[in-house]
């Protein structure tokens, strides 16, 4: 088994799409009129699969984002990513260095979901593995 994607409920689909497109996501498909609302599938350029689904139902706006602590997006060049986000009008927190060679920054989407941007040290695996906790 493997994790496929995370579905986030959004209040304003167009506003959220503008935000996530600025973050680097592309829309790969939509499913209108489901029991949850309309579904918009998003994929990052270096991912082979959809990793985020935006769920929109105007009758059910987001009122609490507390159940989701944060999303994490990996970037190869944090400084370039932050510059691109600033150019797109998105505010980010100053970069931090939480561990050897690791750099992070944070931003918040239009509904209040927190997103952590992570740049791994050179030679690190593409994601987290058991080796990160050895």
Q: What is the DSSP string of 99-127?
A: ETTEEEEEEE-TTS-EEEEEEPPTT--SS
Supply the pTM of this predicted model.
Answer: 0.90
Domain range annotation of the chain: 6-58+68-133
Dig out the tokens for 69 from the structure: 């602590």
Q: Is the pLDDT of residue 1 over 80?
A: no
Assigned fold of 6-58+68-133: 2,3-Dihydroxybiphenyl 1,2-Dioxygenase; domain 1 (3.10.180)
Tens of pLDDT along 41-57? 999 998 999 999 999 99
Dig out the tokens for 115 from the structure: 């997103």
Q: What is the mean pLDDT of residues 47-69?
A: 93
Between CA 126 and CA 4 the distance in angstroms is: 17
Position with higher pLDDT, 56 vs 127: 56
């Amino acid at each position: 088994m493997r994790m496929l994607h995370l579905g986030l409920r959004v209040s304003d689909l167009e506003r959220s799409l503008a935000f996530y497109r600025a973050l680097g996501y592309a829309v790969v498909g939509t499913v209108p009129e489901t029991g949850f609302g309309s579904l918009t599938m998003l994929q990052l350029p270096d991912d082979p699969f959809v990793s985020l689904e935006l769920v929109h139902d105007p009758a059910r706006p987001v009122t609490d984002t507390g159940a989701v602590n944060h999303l994490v997006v990996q970037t190869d060049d944090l400084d370039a990513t932050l510059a691109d986000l600033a150019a797109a009008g998105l505010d980010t927190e100053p970069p931090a260095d939480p561990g050897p060679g690791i750099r992070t920054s944070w931003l918040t989407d239009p509904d209040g979901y927190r997103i952590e941007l992570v740049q791994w040290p050179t030679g690190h695996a593409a994601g987290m593995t058991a080796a990160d906790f050895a």
